Amino acid sequence: MNSAIILSNINEHVQLTADERAYLESVLISRPFRHDELIVKSGDVARYIMFVNAGYIMSYYTDQEGDDHVVQFAAQGWWSGDLFSLSPDPRTIYSTKGLSDGELLLLPRSAQEQLFEKYPKFERYFRISFQTSLIRQQLRFIESYSLTAEERYLKFQLKFPTIDQYIAQKHIASYLGITPEFLSKIRKRLLLK
Amino acid sequence: MNSAIILSNINEHVQLTADERAYLESVLISRPFRHDELIVKSGDVARYIMFVNAGYIMSYYTDQEGDDHVVQFAAQGWWSGDLFSLSPDPRTIYSTKGLSDGELLLLPRSAQEQLFEKYPKFERYFRISFQTSLIRQQLRFIESYSLTAEERYLKFQLKFPTIDQYIAQKHIASYLGITPEFLSKIRKRLLLK
DNA sequence: GGCACAAGATGAACCAGGTTATGAAATGAA
DNA sequence: TTCATTTCATAACCTGGTTCATCTTGTGCC
């Protein structure tokens, strides 16, 4: 298993010893996925959190009316946002799908608890990760109110300059909280400028 | 200082020793506030995070156009959501205001770092707190897309059955992401039902 | 290549929610 | 108690975004 990316990611926040590194590697599970594969279905018991080691994935939420809402795109080097696997009821409310071929590294829930017990450094790493995710999530929430759909689309393009070739427009629309038709209009409007 | 509430809050997730408890109490700072007092102004260097020991506060974000967006209400027993104080640049983007008279317990940033160093248990406590906050924040984000303004208002009333006497309607409207006028319409519509 | 089917574009009618304006009621300072 | 200020309600009008229907353009797939 190639764990270079996850290790360098963790190393940005805490310095791991050889022991800690070895232990982490011993509990990670490689999980390759294919383009368009449904990796996790909502309602599943998700006994792990996911690190994207290669490729692209997206997570989405299906509401009562059966409409999907894209919550997150994740590229190489990202954790997937589904944290329900860590709370008492591990049934996830998100589905996760591959947007390309790729590989996940799964960190099982049980292993994670042991990781925290054994090496508090990992607790620190995840504390920091959750904290920055929370800040980002709050900013995104604010933006969804204070920016127009067009501004949000422009921001999206800046944030994911390369990913969009992997993502269908309807999924981008869903991520932005608008209909595909309206995204179409925005794109046309932007071309004319 | 009365730290019963914060201790029982922490105790729900980790068991503190007498030492740990004493240390925490020694670094907490009492900060009383008044109704309508501006406690933190956006742009301030916020060197602490805040625990509501008594009363109600709200945090809001002021956008480029100068419009306020209420991000969070917090009652007794809640941490305030402003985590920028923990990131490298501690200038906050939120303002915080008292909705009633009350008291905050401030946990200074420097003290917090020492707390984590000295007693990893606190790292665990905050890891768990951030994690559950993140889950809640994601749910709120999803709801803002998949529910109508009226449904969100009804949910708000369920979630904060007592707080609304302290909060002006325009702040509730802001929290819900709508105009005060539109909230007015919704309330009228609901009364007629 | 050719067929089937999903994705994107386009346009018209429509609606949830915003904007602006006005007045009434509440709050509060002097 | 008065005057000023803020908040809430109401109503007419406006608009960003939706819905639905049709058409075009991919994109597997055998």
Residue A1's pLDDT is: 77
Angle between the A18-27 and A109-118 helix axes, to the nearest 10 degrees? 170
- State the alpha helices, DSSP H only, in A12-161: 18-27, 109-118, 120-146, 149-159
The model's confidence at residue A67, banded by pLDDT at 50, 70 and 90, is confident
Check CB contact under 8 Å for B131 and A71.
no
Q: Which of B124, B130, B138 sits opposite A116 (nearest CB)?
A: B124
**What count of residues does chain B have?**
193
**pLDDT at B175 exceeding the cut of 90:** yes
Domain ranges in chain B are 4-118
Section A155-177 average pLDDT: 89
Chain segment B9-36, per-residue pLDDT in tens: 999 999 999 999 999 999 999 999 998 8
Pick one of 1.10.600.10, 2.60.120.10, 3.30.360.10, 3.20.20.540 as the CATH number of B4-118: 2.60.120.10
The model's confidence at residue B193, banded by pLDDT at 50, 70 and 90, is low
Which residues sit close to strand D, CB under 7 Å? A 148-150, 177-179, 181-182, 185; B 168-170, 180-181, 183-185, 187-188
Q: Which of A69, A83, A142 sits opposite B69 (nearest CB)?
A: A142
- To which H or E segment does residue A65 belong? none
**pLDDT above 90 as % of chain B:** 53
- B74 SS3 class: strand
Q: How many CB pairs under 8 A join A and B?
A: 94
Say how far residue A108 (Cα) sits from the centre of its chain: 16
